[in-house]
Amino acid sequence: MKIRKKWFIALCLLMITSLLFFGCQDTSTEQDETDTDHAAEIEINPEDSGPLHFAVIRPDNLNPLFNGNQSLTQMYHLVYESLVTFDDQLEMMPLLAKEWEWDERGHSILFTLRQDATWHDGEPFVPEDVIFTINSMKDQLNQLEYPFVHANIINQISDVRKVDDHQVRISFNRPFSSGLEAMVFPVLPHHVFAESGRGLLNSEDFPIIGTGPYHVVEYDKTRSFQLNYFDAYWGETSYIKEIFVSVVPDREAAMSMFESGEIDLVEPLSIDWTKHTDRDEITGKSFLSNRYEFIGFNFDHEWLSQKELRKAIAYAIDREQILQKLYFNHGKIIDTPVFPESWLNQMDDIKYSYDANQAASMIGEMEIPEGTVFTLLTNEDNQLRVATAQVIAEFLTAAGLETEIETVPWEQLQERTDEGRFDMILTGWHLSVLPDLSFAFHSTQINDGNFIGYQNDVMDEILENIFAASNQNQKKQEWLRFQEFFVEEMPYVSLFFKDHAILHRETLRGDLRPNVYSIFRGIETTYIVTPAEEE
């Protein structure tokens, strides 16, 4: 039976998908080289940027609030804006809200809105837009045939109201420490959708009107989008004035377009993305993703329910070797499921470094009956994970814990975890950028996100304190408690967070700084060098 609490916010998706960019040059004699370099300095002017080309996977729904297509979400970062956004450490930065103030109990936030933001149709951005957007999501909660990423966030909001012409107060059902992070949903223009326009929210002819640096001038969601720079944008001016977006059926098609030179950036298909950068005209930018790999344990198992064995397993696995040999070192080892680059991560030092002798000693002391075999389950469709499972099984067997791997289709893996038919499981989470791990470790979520059956009153208390922290200092202290308690309890053996990357042509210049939230971070500094400029 699944038990739920109203306060619980189970967020384990979001975000993140991807796309990518690159170019070349040529010389002859020493004199010609000097002349060419001088000409390039004069001719390669960011103000003369050519258009940017990339691709998105064909979307089903164009409404940014209910869209589940991650590639479209990335494109929409150029079109729509939220009240706040994330920096590289996942701390909050102003966007449509230029400042904010929490009440003392952590029950509400007063946002002061920008007065210079304008919708793409020329109308001013006003508090009514925020109010309409939140109420629209609340209205749609029980009407959509599929879940949307902001559903659990909206359930936490009890009230939203206008304070004055430039302020809006958002209140929560109870203290909600992630209330600020929750405000990253795109804001829609109330003057377009209110009253008679409400039917457009789920329309095939959805009007794409935002406040971001680019506006959509035309689109056919089965073929293409054209975005132009919005001259009245309140923020930094961009060099790239036109963006052409192709609609493709899948990532393989996008990669094919990139390899043929039709688009400027793409998301690589394999973890070994550096093989593409051997070509002079292509480069890549990697960044840490929120994809977390781990080993989970069945807490109904006689031996695995004992934390000393789980700790021994952690010591027995050489995570550095796995990361280097199988993942080309594209990731970061960590002992807890807290995003390593987050301001909330306070434990960079690795406690469970590889120590075969320590592992063997701890396993030997447990006197597990001879002939006992442990099974490590994983999904057969992920060959990289299967290879990882094989290496882990070898490490554990060498330490004295005989381990065999079992691979099954993804659907069967889900059935087995739901039914508790596993010893150990190698899998991963695509974690939300909102910091809440209650879904995985709180006792109320057993048989749901907490599929391992972990139950501990101290862990429950820490997770509830994190959720209800009334200020950032208290929140940070409780996250430190979580990390310290996690490494003591070891409900999972954390492997690493995986890197993500974008590839782009060398013709895209500037300071693009993709991160876990947006691959277009720094887009205002970039420009496209046209072939004529490079001659």
Comparing CA positions, the residue from 269, 103, 125 lying closest to residue 187 is: 125
Which amino acid appears at position 224 of this protein?
S
Which amino acid appears at position 466 of this protein?
I
pLDDT at 2: 37
Contact 194, 201 (CB under 8 A): no
Contact 16, 461 (CB under 8 A): no
Q: Give Cβ neighbours of residue 441 (< 8 Å, ≥ 6 apart).
A: 450, 454, 459, 463, 491
Q: Beta partners for 124? A: 118
pLDDT at 241: 98
**What DSSP character marks residue 185?**
S
In the chain, % helix, strand, coil (3-state, to 5) comes to: 35, 25, 45
Q: Beta partners for 110? A: 101, 169
Handedness of CA 480, 483, 487, 491 (dihedral sign): positive
Comparing CA positions, the residue from 185, 134, 214, 100 lying closest to residue 432 is: 185
pLDDT at 435: 85
Alpha helices, H only, 260-382? 307-316, 319-327, 356-365
pLDDT at 15: 33
Q: Give Cβ neighbours of residue 477 (< 8 Å, ≥ 6 apart).
A: none
Q: d(Cα 395, Cα 407) in Å, to the nearest integer?
A: 18
Q: d(Cα 125, Cα 233) in Å, to the nearest integer?
A: 12
Q: d(Cα 139, Cα 486) in Å, to the nearest integer?
A: 38
Supply the pTM of this predicted model: 0.88
Q: Give Cβ neighbours of residue 74 (< 8 Å, ≥ 6 apart).
A: 17, 18, 19, 56, 518, 519, 520
445: buried, middle or exposed (CB in 10 Å: 19+, 13-18, 0-12)? buried
Alpha helices, H only, 141-230? 151-156, 190-193
**What DSSP character marks residue 450?**
B
pLDDT at 140: 78
Contact 96, 115 (CB under 8 A): no
Architecture of domain 291-498: Roll (3.10)
Contact 234, 209 (CB under 8 A): no
Look at residue 485 and give its three-state secondary structure: helix
Contact 257, 263 (CB under 8 A): yes
Q: Transcribe 100-114 into DSSP letters.
A: EEE-TTSSEEEEEEP
Contact 284, 503 (CB under 8 A): yes
Contact 265, 21 (CB under 8 A): yes
Comparing CA positions, the residue from 18, 78, 484 lying closest to residue 244 is: 78
Block means of pLDDT (10 residues each) for the chain, 535 residues, are: 37 32 32 40 78 96 90 97 95 97 94 98 98 90 64 86 97 94 95 86 92 97 97 97 98 96 94 85 94 97 97 98 96 97 94 97 95 97 97 98 98 95 96 91 94 97 95 95 98 97 96 95 95 55
